[in-house]
Amino acid sequence: MRKTLLSVALIATMSLSASNPFFGKYKTPHETAPFSEIKIEHYMPAFEEGIRQNQLEIDAIVKNRAVPTFDNTIVALENSGKLLDKVSSVFYNLLSSESSDELMELSKQVQPLLSENSNNIRLNTLLFNKVKEVYDNQERFNLTPEQKMLLKKTYEGFEASGATLNDADKEKYRELSQQLGQLTLMFGQNALKATNAFEMVITDEADLAGLPQGVKDAASLAAKQKGKEGYLFTLQATSYGPFMKYSSRRDLREKMYRAYNSRCIGGEFDNLENVRQIAATRLAIAQLLGKSTYAEQALDKRMAKNQENVYNLLNQLLEAYRPTAIQEVRELQGFAIGMEGQDITLMPWDFGYYSEKLKDAKYSINDEMMKPYFPLESVKKGVFGLATRLYGVTFKKNSKIPVYHPEVEAFDVFDKNGKFLSVLYTDFHPREGKRAGAWMSSYKGQWIANGKNSRPHITIVMNFTRPTEDKPALLTYDEVNTFLHEFGHALHGMMANTTYESMSGTSVYRDFVELPSQIMENFMSEKEFLDTFAAHYQTGETIPVELIEKIKASSNYNTGYACLRQLSFGLVDMAFHTINAPINDDLFVFEQNALGKSQILPSVDGTLFSSTFSHIFAGGYAAGYYSYKWAEVLDADAFSVFHTQGLFDQNTAESFRENILEKGGTEDPMELYKRFRGQEPSIEALMRRDGIIN
């Protein structure tokens, strides 16, 4: 009887394996993920098998009796876990871009398994001893610079994951890392659910005062899709942003602002305790590893090196930009009083509204004037075309590549010589299963093995304005800018050309990764670029020279306030990650103290942005949000070369590709930057671009 039961179980397992698309090669173009074949029940068996195979690979390295070498230890470790990576890339990408209650629940089961597997590898004493032996004797192996960097990162990765701890502390590390994984997962899920939970339905036309027809059309369509009467407004960026910018109903702007900035404060999706626990757990891990703060631990592997250098940058910018920001707010306050004919105190829910009105008054330009020239399909051609002019790459839609949602498109990307370079997925519009914001990721990385350059599968995901019943998707200026930003990340991934996947593409220091994305934004105000795609969606008229001149003239509008807003995020991030004891203070007070001089408008009781600050509490930017400003210094300085040599200068573009985009994390980023630029960057180029200095 027992033999029969075992046979039945074995047959069932074999049957499941045979039907599981994760096992074996994908039978799709470029072996892309076969999304339509992947079911919820396929994930857990694939994760479990991936972990089992990964452990066998690690055991083989440990049990190898040969003297540890770069190949039999470091490369073998680099090449382990392929099935696990394959499953994880699909699972976690969909968890962000096409999530569901089932995926979210499954993630709570998967996260501890992955944390345990990672800890089993990083805390394996015998494995670490082999890695250390190779590291200590690396001069024997005649390594290339890329191999030396892989060895360095491998060794330091073990160190940072507790490999040098004693047995008792290793167990503490296991517990803390498991706990941190669950906390960050819950934080992100709460933020998504809280965003989706709020709806404001308007049925009285008077309550739509000030809203452009396009915004009303989008809200009307959203209501219809939900089976509601009237106009539906949500906390999704494409709904919330336009409402705050155009609604002349100050009471409703306040309602939306308070709803947006009180998400995850109390109630079903409360994140306050998660914030405390995430900060405390990171601190505990850092102190276990001999560091005084989490920032000290994290910044050791960044260009900034230490928290003093981060604060030096933030305070330098604060001192330089604050006077301009104060003047901008004073001007806006006076404008608002004049516009309303009465004294009002400018509040955070007023800034976007009056700012848009003042911009229109000063420069005769606003989003509604520009949107007709930015239909999504034209913008795609423009952004893709920019890559063609700079790097010679071309894009061809491939309908045979499976996608995870009907709105997603997949492209074959070809190099200037017609050789296949990458797959690119594009996903532009908000859905309830998609988290807020915009990002680039990959379903498969790039590496070179056995003479074959295995090319990557890259995705860019955004939350842009949807088409309405009678208009195509017309993007705002900021949305086009966001497209350029994420596309810059995509180029970094698509042009990767390294031997080892773990150092390929965007696998670079956090404060270097934003350079390829932010440098692309510089093209947005350039006539030569806009002329290549910006045409009226109805008449086909090319964007007028006068409008481009207005875009250029207004490019530094409120630049001081915008800088201080970014600095405020960086300061709050650093405050949470430079603590040397768990936070016992009221989090509202803690956040206010952290904001300091970066805050100019009045604070609002009951609001907090930390409770949904997913970049640092659910993403990879902990003690790293300053990276955006750090990279702005780099991108302003780097783009000055394009300005000097010519916007589409082939030599400059090729140098940027060879020294930045292709190299990934194979060398120290400052050395790569200097190889392109010829010198270290300075803050002056950024201040000059922003009009702070002449």
- Catalytic amino acids? 486
Q: Can you tell me the distance from the alpha carbon of 533 to that of 599, in angstroms, rounded to the nearest whole number?
A: 38
- Residues 221/227, Cβ–Cβ less than 8 Å: no
Neighbouring residues of 611: CB distance < 8 A, sequence distance ≥ 6: 191, 263, 264, 265, 270, 271, 272, 275, 587
Neighbouring residues of 79: CB distance < 8 A, sequence distance ≥ 6: 57, 449
Phi, psi of 321 (to 5 degrees): -100, -20
- Residues 532/515, Cβ–Cβ less than 8 Å: no
**Residues 235, 110, 424, 675, CA torsion sign:** positive
- Residues 378/474, Cβ–Cβ less than 8 Å: no
- Of 454, 508, 463, which is closest to residue 486 (Cα–Cα)? 463
Q: Can you tell me the distance from the alpha carbon of 463 to that of 445, in angstroms, rounded to the nearest whole number?
A: 24
Packed helices 237-246 and 213-225: angle between N→C axes, nearest 10 degrees: 140
Structural element, H or E, at residue 187: helix 167-197
Strands 420-427 and 457-461: parallel
CA distances from 546 to 446, 480, 549 (A): 44, 19, 5
- What does DSSP assign to residue 543? P
Packed helices 348-363 and 307-340: angle between N→C axes, nearest 10 degrees: 70
Phi, psi of 692 (to 5 degrees): -75, -35
Q: Can you tell me the distance from the alpha carbon of 64 to that of 460, in angstroms, rounded to the nearest whole number?
A: 41
- What does DSSP assign to residue 418? S
- What does DSSP assign to residue 442? E
> In angstroms, how far is the first alpha carbon of the chain from the final one?
87
Transcribe 250-317 into DSSP letters.
Answer: HHHHHHHHHHHTTTTSSSTT--HHHHHHHHHHHHHHHHHTT-SSHHHHHHTTSTT-SHHHHHHHHHHH
Q: Can you tell me the distance from the alpha carbon of 95 to that of 100, in angstroms, rounded to the nearest whole number?
A: 8
**Residue entry with tokens 């990650």:** 577
Q: Can you tell me the distance from the alpha carbon of 16 to that of 307, in angstroms, rounded to the nearest whole number?
A: 51
Contacts 24+ apart (CB under 8 A), 541-547: 543/373, 547/365, 547/369, 547/370, 547/373
Packed helices 348-363 and 250-260: angle between N→C axes, nearest 10 degrees: 120
Structural element, H or E, at residue 439: strand 439-444
